[in-house]
Amino acid sequence: MTKRIPFDVRLRKNLPGWLIMLPSLVLFSFFVWEPLLESVRLSLYTAEGMRLVQFVGFQNYLDVFQHPDFWPAIRNTFYYTLWSLAIGFLVPIVLAILINEIRRGRSFFKVGIYLPNIVPGMAMVLMWGFIFKPSNAGILNVMLSALGIHAQPWLTDPHLTIPLIVATLTWQGAGATALLYIAGLQGIDPELYDAAIMDGAGIWKRVRYITVPNIYNLARTLLILQIISVFQILYQPLVMTNGGPNNASISIMQLVFRYAFQNYDYPKAGAVSVIISLILIALTAAYNKLNKEKDM
Amino acid sequence: MRKTAIALCLALTLVGMASAQNVTVKLGIWPEDTLAGDIAMHQGFVKEFNATYPNVTIVPAYYKYATDTFVSLAETGQLPTIFESWFTEPQKLIAGKFVKDITAEVKALGWDAKMNKSVLDLMSKDGKIYGVPRDAYALGLMVNVELFKKAGLVDKSGLPLYPKTWDELAKTAKTIKDKTGAAGLCLLAKDNAGGWHFTNIAWAFGAKFEAQKAGKWVAALNTPEAVAAVQYIKDLKWKYDVLTADPTNEDWGTGFRELGTGAAAMYIGAQDAVNQPTQVNGLDVKSLALVPVPAGPKGQFSLMGGTPYMFPANATSAQVTAALHYLEVMGRAPLVNAKTVAGLKADAQNRKNQGVPVVPTFPAWTDPAFLKAQAAALDESRNVDMRLYNDYYAAVAKKGNLRTEEPFAAQDLYAELTKVLQAVVTDKGANVQALLDTAQKNFQPLLDKAANK
């Protein structure tokens, strides 16, 4: 039985903590939580511009569900996420392990893999747009034609659009993630490797029994962060394909963008945003639950 | 004491009246900073304007309408007193109550009776007027004359032998592609502008996308006529191969770039955008021709609309009236006096200086005296061979040639059609009927929501 600590003592004890948190609490409530709640409220009304007009319950949600682009957008967004896990999740881990194994020139490779990350997002998508241009004028096709290969449709092939966009995302983002993994790898006690080598473990065994278990927690966090971030993919498809051809690459965030900035229909944009966050909350919760079971 | 009080009241009233007359107009139609010539012209307009209306302060407030800035500016009351929007926007802006009902102000000047009826409808809702036209447009086919010359498609006097029908267009485009390597036609399929252009093509094949049946609006996207029109587009890509490299990446602006830089020989465009291939994209002013939209098996039509000037909801009546008077000085109002004539002349001369073809406008106003004065001012600064434009103007003057866009949910219609276009230009095996069936199924509920409440 613990004795209850008097309120004033608790207050005195915790006050500095609250004071330190206060600025961020204020900023968070103003810039994050209030807008978040406001957009939930918005999604339940009709509006003229941003002026709420009438409470309509879940009508906006029903309308959004019935929009011809809604289900393709949801489907594609899951494709983006799955492809980004298939293409993008392992790349930084492999890069990190390779760079960690290098004895000379490690900094050179670290800088090298990080460089794509400093290209501004818009410049990146425009550049890849030129590279993937589906004609004899596209950069990739010019290179292929030198090898005697016909011009390929690239982004205009509905089956390739999403994997290619994910490949450009990976090109840009893998380096930064790899740096996190490298930091993780460097935290591993080198004695573990020395011991393993003495026991006669080859590189695969060392990776499997030392490296992977040691970065497992980091990888788990980065996995869920990647899902959350790729799920909100917007400007890459917006600029590279405008969601086309025939909705092959439209993402759910693009639907928010269209409702808000093409139709000025903010309540429906709010409704889609709420749907997105519910999906992400559900995914994260499910994921955490699975992981907890595994941990036990 | 009493006298003093009365005198004081009188003085206050006078001051009050004087300040009520002082009006500030933030002019969103001021030219952007880089257009020195246009700015000089407007500075002249302001001087002229203030000579008659000394109580009005004109504040230059260049604003280029953009969907990502508009609502924030409107909601915070920061929109300029008068701004130019796109032809797609009026009904949306009216529905969102972003713009002011200017019926009283327009009627006081008698302009409502002088406005082209179709244009008036575009800017009105429930009998109330919300905008005045900058100008109207009717789609035609823009032609890069240099490429036609290179392909040998000119007559003895060097005029382009342009296609009169869509069938001819496919063949002409093929000749151009074979002889010059440039695309024959720039087709748009990136955004709603693709569907917008396509409706004009499809009308010629007999398609009509919305019709009223038994009091209910019914979509007709999957008719045999619409299928024929889409099949034609599909053929342009796979049978003739005359389109630019990636139509799914072409929008209104890139189309003019392809045409202006000689990457494409033909492009659907209107007379109000002749500055785009020339001034903006460097095509010689004499190398542009504007000809009628080709005819199809079911006729020849031109889609018409208007670009509006609009006023924010929080503008006062005095501000709106002052801004309308400023349009008079610019020669954009249906009036003929020394001021408007000078404005018209300055505008035409400025276009000539900037390398923009000075061609007749498409009448947004119907006042005969104004049209005459406008035509005279344009004739004076003419810098192009009108034989490159005459057929277009003759075509749009024909009865039954002009059509406004489909009446309800036009942007949703365009979105559905654009998806179909994207599918047929990227997939050789695309099933046109099936695509249009899907589009029909998608669009009818949206039409119901907009029209069949």
Mutate to test the interface with A, among B248, B412, B417, B448 (most CBs of A within 10 A): B248
Q: How far apart are CA A162 and CA A76, in angstroms?
A: 8
Distances (CA, A) of A34 to A21, A29, A30, A61: 17, 6, 6, 21
Q: Three-state SS for B427?
A: coil
Q: How far apart are CA B65 and CA B303, in angstroms?
A: 23
Q: Are B218 and A110 in contact (CB under 8 A)?
A: no
A242 touches chain B (CB under 8 A): yes
- Side-chain half-sphere exposure of A202, counting CA atoms within 13 A: 1
Residue A7: the pLDDT is 83
Residue B102: the pLDDT is 97
More confident residue, B305 or B153: B153
Residue B17: the pLDDT is 46
**Burial of residue B416 (number of CB atoms within 10 Å: 0-12, 13-18, 19+):** buried
The string of DSSP codes covering B279-334 is IIT---GGGEEEEPPPBBTTB--EEEEEEEEE-BTT--HHHHHHHHHHHHHHT-SS
Q: Tokens in use for A83?
A: 């492809």
Q: Tokens in use for B260?
A: 């202006």
Is the pLDDT at B405 greater than 50? The verdict is yes
Residue A126: the pLDDT is 92
Is the pLDDT at B325 greater than 70? The verdict is yes
Interface of B with A (CB under 8 A): 67-68, 70-71, 74-75, 92, 95-98, 189-191, 245-246, 248-249, 411, 415-416, 418-420, 422-423, 425-427, 435, 442-443, 445-446, 449
Residue A156: the pLDDT is 92
State the sign of the Cα–Cα–Cα–Cα dihedral B39, B44, B49, B51: positive
Q: Tokens in use for A33?
A: 């939580």
Is the pLDDT at B14 greater than 70? The verdict is no
Chain B partners of A49 at a C-beta cutoff of 8 Å?
A: 71, 74-75, 96-98
Give the CA angle between residues B340, B344, B345 to the nearest 5°. 115
Helices and strands of chain B, counted as H and E runs: 17, 13
What are the structural domain ranges in chain A? Answer: 60-295
Of B97, B245, B426, which is closest to A157 when you measure between CB atoms? B426
Chain B partners of A137 at a C-beta cutoff of 8 Å?
A: 245
**Does the model's ipTM exceed the 0.85 cut?**
yes
Q: How far apart are CA A188 and CA A179, in angstroms?
A: 15
Closest residue by Cα to residue B182 from B274, B259, B268: B259
Is the pLDDT at B378 greater than 80? The verdict is yes
Q: Are B248 and B254 in contact (CB under 8 A)?
A: no
Mutate to test the interface with A, among B249, B258, B425 (most CBs of A within 10 A): B249
Q: How far apart are CA B354 and CA B356, in angstroms?
A: 6
Q: How far apart are CA A269 and CA A60, in angstroms?
A: 9
| Residues facing residue B206 across a β-bridge | none
Across the interface, do A264 and B420 touch by the CB < 8 Å criterion? Answer: no
Mutate to test the interface with B, among A156, A240, A266 (most CBs of B within 10 A): A156
Q: Which CATH number fits domain A60-295: 1.10.540.10, 1.20.810.10, 1.10.3720.10, 3.40.1160.10?
A: 1.10.3720.10
Task: Compute the nearest-CA separation of B176 from chain A (Å).
Answer: 18
Is the pLDDT at B72 greater than 90? The verdict is yes
What are the structural domain ranges in chain B? Answer: 20-137+306-380, 139-304+395-451
- Is the domain spanning B139-304+395-451 CATH 3.40.50.970? The answer is no
DSSP state at residue B406 = P
Of B74, B246, B446, which is closest to A134 when you measure between CB atoms? B246
Is the pLDDT at B317 greater than 70? The verdict is yes
| Mean pLDDT of all residues in B191-210 | 97
Is the pLDDT at B163 greater than 60? The verdict is yes
Residue A244: the pLDDT is 86
Q: How far apart are CA A91 and CA B391, in angstroms?
A: 61
Residue B263: the pLDDT is 96
Task: Compute the nearest-CA separation of B20 from chain A (Å).
Answer: 30
Among residues 136-195 of chain A, which lie with CB inside 8 Å of chain B?
136-138, 153, 156-158
Q: Three-state SS for B149?
A: helix
Q: What percent of chain B has pLDDT over 70?
A: 96
Report the 3 state secondary structure along B133-148. EEEEEEEEEEEEHHHH
Q: What is the mean pLDDT of chain B?
A: 92
Across the interface, do B245 and A135 touch by the CB < 8 Å criterion? Answer: yes
A1 touches chain B (CB under 8 A): no
More confident residue, A217 or B242: B242
Across the interface, do B246 and A63 touch by the CB < 8 Å criterion? Answer: no
Mutate to test the interface with B, among A133, A246, A264 (most CBs of B within 10 A): A246
For residue B97, which amino acid is it?
Answer: K
Q: How far apart are CA B321 and CA B129, in angstroms?
A: 14
Q: How far apart are CA B155 and CA B300, in angstroms?
A: 23
Across the interface, do B246 and A156 touch by the CB < 8 Å criterion? Answer: yes
Closest residue by Cα to residue A132 from B296, B160, B246: B246
Q: How many pairs of residues across A and B have Cβ atoms under 8 Å apart?
A: 79
Q: What is the pLDDT of residues B55-65, one digit of tens each?
A: 999 999 999 99
| Topology agreement, domain B20-137+306-380 and domain B139-304+395-451 | yes
Chain B partners of A157 at a C-beta cutoff of 8 Å?
A: 426
Per-block mean pLDDT, blocks of 10 residues, chain A (296 long): 75 90 94 93 94 95 96 96 94 92 89 92 92 88 92 92 95 93 91 90 88 90 91 94 93 95 94 95 88 65
- When pLDDT is cut at 50, 70 and 90, the band that residue B425 belongs to is very high
Mutate to test the interface with B, among A242, A247, A254, A265 (most CBs of B within 10 A): A242
Closest residue by Cα to residue B18 from B54, B48, B47, B50: B54
Q: Are B373 and B348 in contact (CB under 8 A)?
A: no
| Residues facing residue B132 across a β-bridge | B309
Chain B partners of A263 at a C-beta cutoff of 8 Å?
A: 92, 411
Closest residue by Cα to residue A257 from B67, B443, B442: B67
- When pLDDT is cut at 50, 70 and 90, the band that residue B118 belongs to is confident
The DSSP element (H or E) to which B411 belongs, if any, is helix B410-426
Q: Are B447 and B210 in contact (CB under 8 A)?
A: yes
Nearest CA in chain B to A157: B426
Q: How far apart are CA B418 and CA A37, in angstroms?
A: 36
For residue B351, which amino acid is it?
Answer: R
Q: How far apart are CA A231 and CA A244, in angstroms?
A: 18
Fold classification of B20-137+306-380 is: D-Maltodextrin-Binding Protein; domain 2 (3.40.190)
Q: How far apart are the first and last CA of chain B?
A: 67
Across the interface, do B426 and A50 touch by the CB < 8 Å criterion? Answer: no
DSSP state at residue B362 = B
Chain B partners of A63 at a C-beta cutoff of 8 Å?
A: 449
